[in-house]
Amino acid sequence: MRKLVTTGLLGLALSFGAISAWAGALSAENTPIAEIAATPEGKAALDKNLPGLTSHGAYEQFKSMSLKQVQPLSGGAITDDQIKAVQADLNKAKK
């Protein structure tokens, strides 16, 4: 029974994630960096606000993480203001 409930919840979570991705809702805080960088507007927002991020030597290691997840590992190189600026650029691109 527990396995069935866990599987159902996982499926539901994946469905919401797929709906969010399908709707084009990119979140600077929650979307994996590679997913943001895969769109022209996302790549532009990252390059503008976090120059060198997508060409960083360790990019392959952190690209599946969100900016919020990478932030504590960045040694202060990624700030809350930069994450907000990326989000603002993503929001502008949607309009």
Q: Mark the ranges of the chain whose per-residue pLDDT is less than 50.
A: 5-6, 9-10, 12-22
Q: Exposed e or buried b for every residue in 11-20, given b needs 16+ CB within 10 A? A: eeeeeeeeee
Given this model, what pLDDT does residue 57 score? 96
> Does residue 78 lie within any of the structural domains?
yes
> Does residue 40 lie within any of the structural domains?
yes
> Does residue 73 lie within any of the structural domains?
yes
> Does residue 87 lie within any of the structural domains?
yes
Given this model, what pLDDT does residue 93 score? 86
Kindly tell me the burial class for residue 92, based on how many C-beta atoms sit within 10 Å of its own C-beta (0-12, 13-18, 19 or more). exposed
Average pLDDT, the chain: 84
pTM of the full structure: 0.73
> Does residue 47 lie within any of the structural domains?
yes
3-state secondary structure of 80: helix
> Does residue 41 lie within any of the structural domains?
yes
> Does residue 20 lie within any of the structural domains?
no
- State the residue range of the domain holding 54: 26-94
> Does residue 15 lie within any of the structural domains?
no
Largest Cα span, the chain? 49
User: Structurally, how many domains does the chain consist of?
Assistant: 1
Given this model, what pLDDT does residue 21 score? 47
